[in-house]
Amino acid sequence: MSGAPILDVRNLSVRFRTEGGDVPAVSDLSFTLDRGETLAVVGESGSGKSVTSLALMRLLPKDSAVTVTGQALLEGRDLLAIPEPEMRKLRGGAISMVFQEPMTSLNPTTPVGAQVAEAVQLHRDLDRRAAREEAARLLDLVGIPAARQRMDDYPHHLSGGMRQRVMIAMALSCDPGVLIADEPTTALDVTIQAQILDLLKRLQERTGMAVVFITHNLGVVAEIADRVLVMYGGRAVEQAPLRPLFSRPLMPYTAGLLRSVPRMELAGRRAGPLPAIPGNVPDPRHMPPGCVFHPRCAHHQPGRCDAAAPVLEAADEAREVRCLRWRELAA
Amino acid sequence: MSLALSAPAFRRFRRHRLAAFGAATIVLLTLGCFLGPFLLPFDDTTIDVMNRFAPPLSGAHVLGTDELGRDMLARLMMGGRVSLIVGFTAMAIGMALGILVGAVAGFHGGWLGAALMRFVDAVLCFPTIFLLLALAALVSPGLLSIIILIAATSWMDVARIVEGQVKSLRERDFAVAAQVLGASDARIIVHELVPNAVAPIVVAATLNVARAILLESYVSFLGYGIQPPVPSWGNMLNNAQIYLTSAPWLAILPGLAITLAVTSFNFLGDGLRDALDPRMRAR
Amino acid sequence: MVDFRIDRRAVLGLGAAAALAPCTGQAQPRPPERPRGQVIVGLSQEPTVFNPLMPGIEVDQGVWWNLFSPLWYTDPEGNLVPDLAREVPTLDNGGISTDGLTWTVKLRQGATWHDGTPFTAEDVKFTLELINNPSFRARSRIGHQLVRDIRVTAPDEITWRMEAAYAPYLSILSLTFMVPRHLLSGVDPNTATFNSAPVGTGPFRWGARQPGDNITLTASPAYHGNGPFLERVVFKYIPDLTVLYTQFRTGQVDHTSIQGISPPFVREARTLRGRVIHVNPSASIEHIAPNLEFGPLADKAVRQALYMAVNKRALIDAIYYGLPAPTESFLPRQSWAFNADLPAHKHDPAAANALLDQAGWRRGAGGVREKNGVKLEFTNSTTTGNPVREQAQQLLMQDWRGIGATMRVQNMPAAVIWGEFWQQSRFQSVMVGVNFTLGADPDVTPRFHSSAIGAKGGRGQNNYQFVNAEVDGLLVQGATQFNQAQRRATYQRIQALVREELAILPLFQSAAVEGVKEGLNGYRPNQNTSSNCWNIREWFWTA
Amino acid sequence: MSGFLARRLGQSLVLLVLVSMVGFAILHLAPGGPMSQFASGSDMTQEDLDRIAEQLGLNRPLPVQYAEWFWRMLQGDWGRSYRDGEAVLNVIGSHLGATLQLMLTATLLAIIIGVVIGTLGAIRRHSIFDTLATVGAMIALSIPTFWFGLVAIYVFSVWLDWLPSGNRFTPGDGSPLDLLRHLILPAMVLALVETAIWSRFMRSSMLDVVNQDYIRTARAKGVPEARILLRHAFRNAALPMITVLGLQLPTLLGGALVTETVFTWPGMGRLFLDSISYRDYPVVMGILMFSATLVLLGSLLADLLHAVADPRIRLG
């Protein structure tokens, strides 16, 4: 179980066509994911994280307003190019996804057990009864107490945390190689958040799946990630293993993000009020010239940062960064 | 996987194209009905018994003549005036009544509000046409009475909308804050509530014009409508019924006019709803 | 069905009598031995009243004629023909005493009710008494309230005394159907089951009623008269005249009755194959009813000018397709009392203008005349939903505008216009068709006697508020005369006076256009009965 | 649940009393009266008319008449028709069948066609089909029903001579085929507007649903599109339709009135029209109360059904 990455995303771009013109939601994004690895994709809202995950699942609206280019090789097969029926078989099978909103992501008129069983039955050759058995096992696995009794409950009977466990059970039903978790804990309160993260870690250890964990919460990242991909304005701006990134961010944006997080989870110390990054996420229709982060960057040099667009360059064998001044700043 | 071609742009264009079509048609109809008769060599009430039932495009009368030899185009225009006047004034009165009742009920709440809203509920229990006919028995037919009749059957929805808005806004912080700061009720209504309620009201108003024009034709069809010799699209249609086989254009033309006008208002209302109601915008 | 291929158009215009039998040279078709087939009669109003003594309209009466029998009826020529009576009482046969106060009626023997009970003089007595029963909602008590001391002298003979001599009572009785004592005594006659399952002595018996849709009658084998030759009669309610005509055209109904065929359809109807169209002069006189107490209309000169300004010919020819005949009288041309020498109407707007100028009506602002501050303006009303009448109104409006008179249309639903608006003379003018006769009797006391003005506490229907001492006197005289020649003179003088005063502006004697499917024999229009369904007993299909 | 039911029924009864007052006042304040139609032509005199009005109790003060009517109604006696002397409930009952037949046929047609059109329109949003369906529905909602009826009669009865122009059956025939032939045109006309309404509601409901997160979830599970539509989207989209049904059915009574007039269909609508023009107060009141009850029951039933079908809803 080593060697080639399980997922290899190359030059992924997503554009939306709107009244106001073309919107590049994701630009030229490339990353890899090794088996069993957890990659955290971090960024503020609007940075393109969720669009990336939906693009990989091919769940973006299938109309002419959306243009997706690039490659996403899942064990060598390009998710963006295979025919839809094949893709459908992969979805929920080899690659599955957990969404942000547990309150609305379950079908309100179908008992939860049936929803899990449906996923099981779709991808595995089981009859109804066996699928139901399997669903019960999965619900139990994700830590739903008295799982068998809750099979016939409707989603509205369950709490948010429980619903998210159901979602996870559904996602895991076919031992996926890759699980994309799109802010799975954001909508939950803190104690539940921790439980769900624990659960995910535990399940990952058991099944050896790779996880793409999308979040804006660096606290969560610290807890779960092996590697971190920081996105800003639809681009990857920094990519590094967890520890080096946290201890020595190269991109000023990453540094800003880290400063804006209560650091107790990270180092147990806390110093004064949290300095948020000034300014707002750029309007994707009017990206600033040069480095897209320069209007908010404390280190930006007029005439340089707003003139040439930086490229993503390798900082060392494990790290990449997109900044014109990273060497100066690191020094 | 690469998809091309515009969609949202086209989609919005299409959307607005229908609304624009509606608006343009309404403007044209209104202009035509109010200015057109001045340009025509014929009067809408001049009878010419020697020249009855002239088919369209057969002579001096572009759209032919009716059962009394009157010019159809002139009558359609004058009828359009009446129908549009009925549509707009009935809508305006209905709106005013609805807003008044809704605002009072929503603002004061309590037993008065409850009583008003129960009354609204009771009136809504009557199927519109039943209520309309029952009310029609009360008054002698005529332009004013038909306007009042239609207004009397189309204020309840607005009352409900306004009452709901007012009530929900009243409970919101800013209205409470404004009240604490000593703003008068009227000021609160004008500055805080009206802007919030205006979108659904505008939509309802547009759709109610369409409804009023349609109801006028129903009432006239059932014999309780505008009196001769004043034409309205409804009574023209009613009178044309017996000539359906011999002079079908007498029935077809006003029917088309009604359909066109009502469709236009409905398109416009639909477009306005899309534009004004953010919840509906996704459609 | 047999197609006789006659030149229908030649036959049609001639009206009632001519169209009776298609003149094909073939032998007159003979009725079958036993009742056969059915006739579907299309009606534009729904018959709902089946107790023939309660308030009903023409369509109800059309049904009554087939379920019930009067003592005698008036035939199309105006003769009284005995039915349940053996003979019509007259001064000559002694049935009516010379002072007109004692009446004796000899009854037919062997007539039975549909349930088998024999019909006797007790039933006649019961019927007359029921009409005067204060708790019974009897339709009309005109004439009946004069009846006193009813005595059954034999099972087939009855006699009574009249409070006052009243000649029209003969005609009133010709429209009074007998009801069965054994079913109506001892129960509330207003709500008796009889009212919804009537039992009569007529040619057909009650079958079934589908409310809002139809009534089915079936042949009564025990009927005492000629016929019936049909197994079944269905009275079908088709509320829309257009649909009624369409269904007649497509053959779904065999006969369109009462409202019949609307004038606009007549031309097309005459071209239909297998359909015979009858244009029957009816007893209804279409007129403008002025309120003689209302401002300008109180002035006789105004009425005369208005009348002269009416382009009757255009009205009749264009709007009514030339079907009705212009008239000057309130009586139908066919009445024995009709006055043919009334001055004829002349369309003369110039003379009308001159007359108004002379009478002091000067043209004011907008060309409308006025006199002493009173404008020559009035409203005209009729029932809504009658497009043909509305057209006539608009034509009159234009005619009268030409002489400086403004008429505005103010139409109302029937329930409103004929309510207090009409009964209490709240109108200014009304366009209406009225049958002034009682059966075939020309007595018009309720319409023109000064004591019959509802608005002045009167008991009749003189809603014009016509007051004329000479007419009053003549009306009293006519009601007590039993000699027809004398009565004719009286009523001809009344017609002349009403025409002279223009108490009504007569337009025309209405023509009812009714259609009959070819092959249906026996249809005989009768303006003395309110419905031409009066003799369905004689109808039969050509074999 | 029973608490909810009791409360709703209580509210409904209060509303019904209000309805009866409004209706009674409107009717009896209207000029004219049930005796009017005899005044124009027949042999009845003013005296006769006054006498009968007196006998019918029409001269008493309005509150007295109302009180008596109300008290009797409570005891199940809705009075007797002035027109034919039948008990009002029987009168209504004898016209109800025809109306129900027409209404149910039209509704069924409208639901089936409307739901299919609406669903397809939502799935293929902004396709040519959807555009046509949208425009078509708008036009259908804007056509005066009676005019459409007249045109339909002109085309199908007068011109093509395929179908009868009115009535419920041919007298003396009444076979199922005959009934069906008579039913087609009026049901089609009545269904036109209904179909438009249903397709609009269905489309909008379906659009609501297909944009829901759980549909995305289903896709993420790899559920085939067809199954997503049928199993996941349709069921959820159909739920609000129950409410539409509950609210639509009674208003159909009004729509049926016009259609019944055009096609001389012997139903409630015609009865109402005839009764209003006759001023047959007991029957008119009866119909008003009946339809109001239907409206209230409709919405109550819709709520109940909705609660049964939608597990999220708890009545309380």
CB distance B141–C412 less than 8 Å? Answer: yes
C298 lies in the same domain as C216: no
| Mutation target vs C (from D59, D77, D84, D189; most C CBs, 10 A cutoff) | D84
C448 lies in the same domain as C400: yes
Residue B194 covered by a domain = yes
pLDDT in tens, B221-273: 777 778 878 888 988 888 888 787 788 888 889 999 999 999 999 888 888 87
C347 lies in the same domain as C413: yes
Residue C196 covered by a domain = no
CB distance D37–C414 less than 8 Å? Answer: yes
Give Dmax over CA atoms of chain C in angstroms.
76
* Min distance D11 CA to chain A CA atoms (Å): 29
Calculate the alpha carbon distances from A242 to A40, A235, A266, B54 in Å: 9, 19, 11, 90
Q: What span, in angstroms and rounded, lies between the C-alpha atoms of A16 and A60?
A: 10
Beta carbons within 8 Å of D130's beta carbon, 6+ residues apart: D120, D121, D122, D124, D203
Residue C505 covered by a domain = yes
Nearest CA in chain B to C412: B140
Beta carbons within 8 Å of D271's beta carbon, 6+ residues apart: C211, C212, D91, D92, D95, D283, D287
Above 70 in pLDDT, residue B173?
A: no
For C242, the closest of B141, B227, B241 (CB atoms) is: B241
Q: pLDDT tens for chain C, 543 residues: list them.
A: 333 333 333 333 333 343 444 444 456 788 888 899 999 999 988 899 999 999 888 899 999 999 999 999 999 988 999 999 999 999 889 899 999 999 999 999 999 999 999 999 999 999 999 999 998 999 888 899 999 999 999 999 999 999 999 989 999 999 999 999 999 988 999 989 999 999 999 999 999 998 888 899 999 999 998 889 999 999 998 887 877 888 888 888 899 987 788 888 888 889 999 999 999 888 899 999 999 999 899 999 999 999 999 999 999 998 898 999 999 999 999 999 999 999 999 999 999 999 999 999 999 878 899 999 899 999 999 988 788 898 999 999 999 999 999 999 988 888 888 888 898 899 999 999 998 987 788 999 989 999 999 889 888 889 999 999 999 999 999 999 988 899 999 999 999 999 999 999 999 999 989 999 999 999 999 988 888 999 999 999 987
Q: What span, in angstroms and rounded, lies between the C-alpha atoms of D238 and D114?
A: 12
Q: What span, in angstroms and rounded, lies between the C-alpha atoms of C61 and C59?
A: 5
pLDDT at residue number B187: 65
Residues 266-305 of C with CB under 8 A from B: 268
Above 70 in pLDDT, residue B50?
A: yes
CB distance C409–B246 less than 8 Å? Answer: no
Residue C244 covered by a domain = yes
The two tokens of residue A246 are 């946290």
pLDDT in tens, D133-189: 988 998 988 898 888 988 888 888 878 888 887 778 776 677 888 888 889 999 999
Chain B touched by A110 (CB under 8 Å): no
pLDDT in tens, B85-102: 999 999 999 999 998 898
Residue C74 covered by a domain = no
pLDDT at residue number B174: 57
* Min distance B260 CA to chain C CA atoms (Å): 25
Chain C touched by D259 (CB under 8 Å): no
Range of the domain at B113: 17-47+55-276
- C touches A, CB cut-off 8 Å, minimum 3 pairs: no
| Mutation target vs B (from A64, A79, A84; most B CBs, 10 A cutoff) | A64
pLDDT at residue number B280: 42
C254 lies in the same domain as C325: no
CB distance A67–B4 less than 8 Å? Answer: yes
The count of structural domains within chain B is 1
Residue C344 covered by a domain = yes
CB distance D144–B252 less than 8 Å? Answer: no
Residues 13-32 of B with CB under 8 A from D: 14, 18
Block means of pLDDT (10 residues each) for chain D, 316 residues, are: 79 86 84 75 75 84 89 88 88 89 90 91 84 89 88 85 79 78 90 89 86 85 84 83 77 79 85 85 89 84 77 61
CB distance C242–B141 less than 8 Å? Answer: no
* Min distance D5 CA to chain B CA atoms (Å): 18
Backbone φ, ψ for residue C510 (5° rounding) = -65, 155
Residue in D183, D203, D186, D184 with CA at minimum distance from that of residue D127: D203
Give Dmax over CA atoms of chain B in angstroms.
76
Question: Would you give the distance in Å from CA C97 to the centre of its chain?
Answer: 30
- DSSP state, residue C107: B
C300 lies in the same domain as C440: yes
Chain D touched by C146 (CB under 8 Å): no
* Min distance C462 CA to chain D CA atoms (Å): 9
Collect all residues of chain D within an 8 Å Cβ-Cβ radius of residue B266. Answer: 138, 141-142
Q: Which chains touch A (3 or more CB pairs under 8 A)?
A: B, D
Q: What span, in angstroms and rounded, lies between the C-alpha atoms of A200 and A143?
A: 11
Collect all residues of chain D within an 8 Å Cβ-Cβ radius of residue C238. Answer: 166-167, 264
* Min distance D110 CA to chain A CA atoms (Å): 25
Above 50 in pLDDT, residue B279?
A: no
Nearest CA in chain A to D127: A63
CB distance C434–D172 less than 8 Å? Answer: no
pLDDT at residue number B9: 44
pLDDT at residue number A162: 87
Which of the residues in chain A have pLDDT under 50?
Answer: 1-2, 264-271
| Mutation target vs B (from C247, C248, C271, C390; most B CBs, 10 A cutoff) | C390
CB distance C240–D31 less than 8 Å? Answer: no
Residue C153 covered by a domain = yes
C536 lies in the same domain as C466: no
Q: What span, in angstroms and rounded, lies between the C-alpha atoms of B34 and B26?
A: 12
Residue C343 covered by a domain = yes
* Min distance B223 CA to chain C CA atoms (Å): 5
Residues 71-110 of D with CB under 8 A from A: none
CB distance A19–B7 less than 8 Å? Answer: no
The CATH number of the domain holding residue C401 is: 3.10.105.10
Chain C touched by D172 (CB under 8 Å): yes
* Min distance D206 CA to chain A CA atoms (Å): 14
- B touches D, CB cut-off 8 Å, minimum 3 pairs: yes
C107 lies in the same domain as C209: no
CB distance B121–D276 less than 8 Å? Answer: no
pLDDT at residue number C27: 60
Residue C195 covered by a domain = no
Residue in D145, B223, B67, D148 with CA at minimum distance from that of residue C265: B67
Alpha helices (H) in B125-248, listed in sequence order: 128-136, 143-152, 156-171, 173-180, 185-188, 194-221, 233-240
C-alpha torsion sign, points D303, D304, D308, D313:
positive
C312 lies in the same domain as C392: yes
Residue B2 covered by a domain = no
Confirm whether the ipTM is greater than 0.85: no
C140 lies in the same domain as C261: no
For B12, the closest of A19, A58, A67 (CB atoms) is: A19
Residues 67-86 of B with CB under 8 A from C: 67-68
The count of structural domains within chain C is 3
C300 lies in the same domain as C439: yes
CB distance C236–D171 less than 8 Å? Answer: yes
Count of Cβ atoms closer than 10 Å to residue B264 Cβ: 27
C454 lies in the same domain as C351: yes
Range of the domain at C382: 284-511
pLDDT at residue number B91: 93
Residue B183 covered by a domain = yes
Residue B4 covered by a domain = no
Chain B touched by A84 (CB under 8 Å): no
The CATH number of the domain holding residue B22 is: 1.10.3720.10
CB distance B245–D158 less than 8 Å? Answer: yes
Nearest CA in chain C to D35: C419
The two tokens of residue C97 are 């005493």
C106 lies in the same domain as C241: no
Residue B281 covered by a domain = no
The CATH number of the domain holding residue C121 is: 3.90.76.10
pLDDT at residue number A4: 81
For D236, the closest of A57, A96, A109 (CB atoms) is: A109
pLDDT at residue number C347: 95
Residue B9 covered by a domain = no
pLDDT at residue number C543: 75
Residues 183-212 of B with CB under 8 A from D: 210
Instruction: Convert D31-67 to b/e letters by CB count within 10 Å (16 or more is b).
Output: bbbbbbbbbbbbbbbbbbbbbbeeebebeeeeeebbe
